[in-house]
Amino acid sequence: MPLQEEVRELAGELPLSANAMVVLKKRYLKKDELGQPTEAAPDMFRRVAQTIAGIDRTYDPDADVDATARKFYHMMASLAFMPNSPTLMNAGRELGQLSACFVLPVEDDIESIFDAIKFTAMIHKSGGGTGFSFSRIRPENDPVMSTRGVASGPISFMNIFDVATETIKQGGTRRGANMGILRVDHPDIEKFVTCKNDTKKLTNFNISVGLTDAFMDAVLNDQDFPLINPRSGREMGRVKASRLFDLIVQSAWATGEPGIIFLDAINRGNPLPHLGDIEATNPCGEQPLLPYESCNLGSLNLARVVQDGQLDYAALKDLVHTAVHFLDNVIDANNFPLEIIREHTLKNRKIGLGVMGFADMLLLLGIPYNSDEAVRTAEEVMAFIQKESQAASAALAEKRGNFPTFPGSRYDGNGLGRMRHATTTTIAPTGTISILAGCSSGIEPLFAVSYVRRVLEGTELVEVHPLFEELARRRGFYSPELMRHIAQTGTIRDIKEIPKDVRRLFVTAHETSPQWHIRIQAAFQKYTDNAVSKTVNFPRQAAPEDVRQVYFMAYEMGLKGVTIYRDGSRDQQVLSFGKDAPKPQEAQYITPRPRPARTSGVTELITTGCGKLYVTVNSDELGFCEVFAQMGKTGGCASSQIESTGRLISLALRSGVKIDAIIKQITGIRCPSPIWQNGSQLLSCPDAIARVLRSVAQVDATPEAAAMATCPDCGSAVEHEGGCLVCRACGFSKCS
């Protein structure tokens, strides 16, 4: 049967969830000029499968491309494997850029810096994310001989990259994302460590400090540590290593950033040491890359290889070999954004096969996430994937040849005479593709057993993990009331009517101690070529010393990097389940001051997706006191809502509410008609009023900072995953 007919036959049979369909329509499917999908999910999988399979003819004119396309199609349509998002979005389309991860060099000269900014814009426009090491840029106030001035330092240039990313925004399909890394021995390291303590700055960057073995030894031995000027190679001073380490810990404890990467551990695993040291990673840290390299990622859904309570290793082996074939073809099918990236990628042919659905797999096997058995299972599964991915790579090399830089690589002379790829495995965050696959993210534990999802017009739906719901019904303790109760906290730990063995099995991220997070990450890292992206969760009451100990544990266990998040550590809680809000001792009421007879103010015209909006902001002798807003066209529901918004803002101002608090409340509210204006998106009329208020009051309250607690697209809760924020309701991702 031809694949097209098979796709049509299966069109109604794909096991896609309601969330997956929302994400597909919003972020993946082809659309017409009006933004309406012109393909369905089976069409997308067919488009990708046929495009990637067609590469076989490059190596064998007689290849059975239809058979290969059918294998690729079933691998994706059965939700057993998903490639990284750009491949799903762009394969078989005009853009044709299929890679998620890029690293660009940043040298200590103005041409290199602004070339990197230009290349970053091109990569972000094509749907990729970028990583940089800023360690080669001379420190702040260092002499610049060509101008007889002084240098502004790496952080100042990071701000320019950030503004460029904010401007591009990847057309609303995939957001721009960057990773900024600075070596711990750079003279500006303290300024770098604290540069994101103000969470409204560098919003398009994740940042990580590049730690070295020498620095960790100095910390452990309470020694001074030299800071080296990268321009001259000379020592510029010394710091107490333990004090600098504590500054890193304190900042991460307070805000979740910076992350840390262990540069020497990364380079001990560098498969291509003859080409140079690795200095940077992609935005979520799982893909260390040489300058101008890119990498294509894909993830296996481990929940799909459990049969009758056992892992089906024969099925997993077949999946691994098919996935490696797929990812190898992606390299050749790719329309790279820069010729130099194409050259470097083809020389090394790195791929990154990883996993998702690990927590679901453990549930199906009856294994709690925070257990020795889970650690053993993680090692066993990843060791198998590593072995089979290398075997698949070697088999492809027999037919297609080694990667060109094989001579001198770690494989040369190590008994692996044939290898098609310099790396084969990576554990990436799988935010949106795990939503498509209907499984848990990457190697993370369950986010929640049950949670509330907001849908259209403010309706709230209780989402329950399907395995838990099935078990609850089978055991006889299911009820809608119980599910709603669980959604208040996300956890079943203290619910006595649920059997103890069920409570032990369904543990969530915040019930899993940081030490278990590290042990699971280390188990996967042991058998992963590249690195492992994971968030180590801490409870709200954790102390900085707890973070410090986890960093030491990660270093000792050979991890290549760590990202931590302490519950509630940002200005607003990333997830609020409903029981955390403090209850007032007694109600207090405020009488607003009367409106004076005369006020003074300004009126500003701002164009929204609904039309021209006139916003007037007035003041009296005590400060701002009222806001009027009116649409250019009168009448209708929109006008009445705008008028009521102005009245309520005015009431709040005369009741003593600070204007920046009001701005934060109405910033980021989204309507069906957002528009782009002056390089940023205007989401609604309330969002427009907030912009005018910011301008008039000169308040710095960005939409992203204000909307951090919930998804800016749909209002549902967002998860921390691998240093990123992901909404499982609609697929929004802050880092991809």
Q: Which active-site residues does the annotation give?
A: 282, 284, 286
The residues, any chain, with a CB within 8 Å of residue 83's CB and separated by 6 or more, are: 48, 76, 98, 296, 297, 298, 326, 327, 330, 433
CA distance 539 to 327: 38
H or E segment at 684?
Answer: none
How many whole angstroms separate alpha carbon 63 and alpha carbon 397? 16
Distance CA 672, CA 524 (A): 42
Cα 10 from chain centroid (whole Å): 32
Alpha-carbon distance of 698 to 281, in angstroms, equals: 37
| 189 CB-side CA count, 13 A | 31
Task: Give the H/E segment covering residue 457.
Answer: none
Task: Give exposure, 160-191, as e/b (b: 16+ Cβ within 10 Å).
Answer: ebbebbbebbbeebbbbbbbbbbbbbbbbbbb
What contacts 723, CB < 8 A, 6 or more positions away?
206, 256, 259, 283, 284, 285, 429, 533, 535, 563, 735
Contact 352, 423 (CB under 8 A): yes
DSSP 266-315: HHHT-S-GGG----EE-TTSS-EE-TT-EEEEEEEEGGGGEETTEE-HHH
- List all residues 6 or more positions away from 501 whose beta carbon is below 8 Å from its beta carbon: none
Contact (Cβ atoms closer than 8 angstroms) between residue 331 and residue 265: no
Reduce the DSSP state of residue 465 to 3 states and report it: coil
Q: Which amino acid is at 186?
A: H
**Residues composing the chain:** 736
Q: What is the dihedral of CA 386, 388, 393, 399, to 10 degrees?
A: 170
Residue that has been written with the tokens 């094509």 in this structure: 126
Instruction: Tell me the backbone φ, ψ of residue 109, rounded to 5 degrees.
Output: -150, 155
